[in-house]
């Protein structure tokens, strides 16, 4: 049942990304181009998401999880170099390519070479990071 709910939420999220235009790299790059021809429409998407989250999240946290014993929330409270560098790299990649992991996976449905290369590169990066993390610790 847990997997079915996860699949359903993933499909719902994919539909939301598609309807909002967040899977279109040109639209995302247009949103990030503040000094050119700025496409502000994604600001409404992000604002809507943040607004709903601000209202719903406190309500959800008062309840008990249905498919787990606890909510799995981030525990890190302090900024560190890894978080800052990772955020910078993520932002640069998002700005250059106009795609981040969620939309990249949704774009696989189009079966175009750019989407396949993006997701394969992302998976290779994740694999290399897991090796780095193992070596480091």
Contact 71, 63 (CB under 8 A): no
Q: Structural domain boundaries of the chain? A: 2-136
Instruction: Report pLDDT digits (tens) over 93-112.
Output: 888 888 888 899 999 988 88
Q: Answer yes or no: are the C-beta atoms of 28 and 99 closer than 8 Å.
A: yes
| pLDDT at residue 98, as a whole number | 87
Mean pLDDT by 10 residues, the chain (137 residues): 88 91 89 89 91 94 88 88 90 87 90 91 92 89
Half-sphere exposure of 134 (CA within 13 A, CB side): 6
Handedness of CA 97, 103, 34, 93 (dihedral sign): negative
Q: What is the pLDDT of residue 22?
A: 87
Contact in structure between 42 and 27 (CB atoms under 8 Å): yes
Burial group, residue 82, by CB count within 10 angstroms (0-12, 13-18, 19+): exposed
């Amino acid at each position: 049942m847990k997997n079915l709910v996860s699949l359903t939420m993933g499909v719902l999220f994919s539909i939301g990304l598609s309807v909002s235009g967040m899977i279109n790299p040109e639209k995302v790059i247009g949103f990030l181009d503040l000094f050119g021809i700025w496409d502000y429409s994604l600001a409404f998407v992000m604002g809507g998401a943040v607004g709903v989250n601000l209202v719903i999240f406190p309500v959800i946290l008062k309840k008990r999880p249905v498919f787990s014993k606890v909510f799995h929330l981030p525990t890190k409270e302090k900024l560190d170099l890894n978080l800052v560098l990772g955020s910078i790299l993520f932002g640069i990649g998002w700005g250059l390519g106009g795609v981040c992991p969620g939309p990249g996976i949704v774009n696989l449905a189009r079966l175009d070479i750019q989407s396949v290369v993006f997701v394969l590169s992302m998976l290779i990066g994740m694999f290399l990071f897991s090796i780095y993390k193992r070596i480091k610790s």
